[in-house]
Amino acid sequence: MPVYRIKHVTRYRYEQPVTICHHIAHLLPREAARHVWSSADLDIFPTAMRTDRFDYFGNRQTFFSIQEPHRELLVTSRGEVEILAPATGMLFSNQPWEQARDNLRNMSTPDFAGVIQFTFESVKIAQTAEAAQYAAASFTAGRPAIEAVEDLMRRIHQEFKFDTCATTVATSVAEVFRDRRGVCQDFAHLGIACLRSMGLAARYVSGYLLTDAPPGRPRMVGVDASHAWLSVYVPESGWLDFDPTNNMTPGDRHITIAYGRDFSDVSPLRGVILGGGNHAVHVSVDVTAV
C-alpha cells in the first residue's frame, strides 16, 4: 500500500521584532483509520517553550511560545505514513437519510456526545436557510443517506467554481453561496452546512492530498498545499469521508491530520504576537510517494 513522505513548512517574516508570541499548531497527525505513521515530528525555530496536548476532538495540538525577540518564525513538520486499503467486505448502508438522522439522536454508544456535537452550527459554519434549501434537492424523501451525500458532493463540484482568488480565510458560507466560487476549505464548509441543515453530523477534515504533475512536466516540490474535505456520520457505517472539491470519496491519496467542527478548530497554525509590524508568510507543502 502507498507510503507517503510529507514536509510542511511555514515561515513568517516580521518587519519589526516580535517580543513574545503564542501559537497553536495542528500539524502533527491524529489517529485515523487506515493510517499508519512510522514517524511524525515538528520543528520550531527559534527555540520555543512547547507543550503537546490533545484537543477535545482527539487531535494532537502543539502549544508553543517564543519569548525572545525574533524576526522570523519557521515551523516544519515532517512525517511518513502508510495508507492501508479499506477492509474488504465493508458494509455500506442503504439506510434512508431520515432514519440515519433520527438514529443519531437515539444512539446509546459511549461516543454519543462525540458524534452529536457535529450536528450543531459552529464558529465558521452558521446555520442558514440557504444551505437547507440547497441540500433539499439532494435529500429527497426516503433516499439512502450515502447516495444523497454523493449527490450533494457532485452538485457542489459542478455548480461552484474553483477559484483561489475569490475567497479568503474569513469568507463565510453565505458568501460562497452568493459568489459560487471558492477553494477546498470553502467547499468543505459549504457541504457541512448543507448536511447539518438536514440534521446530520458532519465534520471538517484537515490533511493533505497527493497530486500528480501535469502530463509531460516534472513534479514540482513544495507546490502541494494542505487540503480539506468533510466527513459525515451514518449510524450503520460510521464516519465516511467525501471530498467535494474533487468530487470523490477519499481513497489512498488523502492523508488525514486533524478534524473538527470547521477550519477554526484545526487551523494548521495560528497565534497571537506582540510587536512585529507588517509580516509576510510563506507556506510550502511537499507530499511525495516513497
Alpha-carbon gap, residue 58 to 5, rounded angstroms? 23
Report the nearest approach of other proteins to the CB of residue 9 (Å): 11
Peptide bond into 46 cis (omega under 30): yes
> Among residues 7, 13, 22, 34, which is the contact residue for other proteins, using CB under 8 A?
22
Are residues 205 and 188 in contact, defined by beta-carbon separation less than 8 angstroms? yes
Alpha-carbon gap, residue 182 to 161, rounded angstroms? 7
Under rule CB under 8 A, residue 47 binds other proteins: no
In the range 58-77, which residues lie near other proteins by CB under 8 A?
Answer: 63, 65, 67
Report the nearest approach of other proteins to the CB of residue 89 (Å): 27
Alpha-carbon gap, residue 175 to 166, rounded angstroms? 10
> Among residues 222, 238, 288, 289, which is the contact residue for other proteins, using CB under 8 A?
222
In the range 95-134, which residues lie near other proteins by CB under 8 A?
Answer: 108, 110, 112-113, 116-117, 119-120, 123
Beta strands in the chain (DSSP E): 3-25, 35-45, 49-54, 60-66, 70-83, 161-162, 181-182, 202-209, 226-234, 238-242, 254-260, 269-275, 279-289
Under rule CB under 8 A, residue 250 binds other proteins: no
Closest by CA to 81, choosing from 208, 226, 169, is: 208
- Residues 216, 221, 225, 230: what is their CA dihedral angle, to the nearest 10 degrees? 60
In the range 179-218, which residues lie near other proteins by CB under 8 A?
Answer: 183-185, 188, 206, 209-212, 214-215
Under rule CB under 8 A, residue 224 binds other proteins: yes
Under rule CB under 8 A, residue 239 binds other proteins: no
Stretch of residues binding other proteins (CB under 8 A), selected from 35-43, 134-142, 144-152, 280-288: 280-288
Which residues make beta-bridge pairs with 288? 5
Stretch of residues binding other proteins (CB under 8 A), selected from 77-85, 86-94, 139-147, 277-285: 277-285
Report the nearest approach of other proteins to the CB of residue 1 (Å): 18
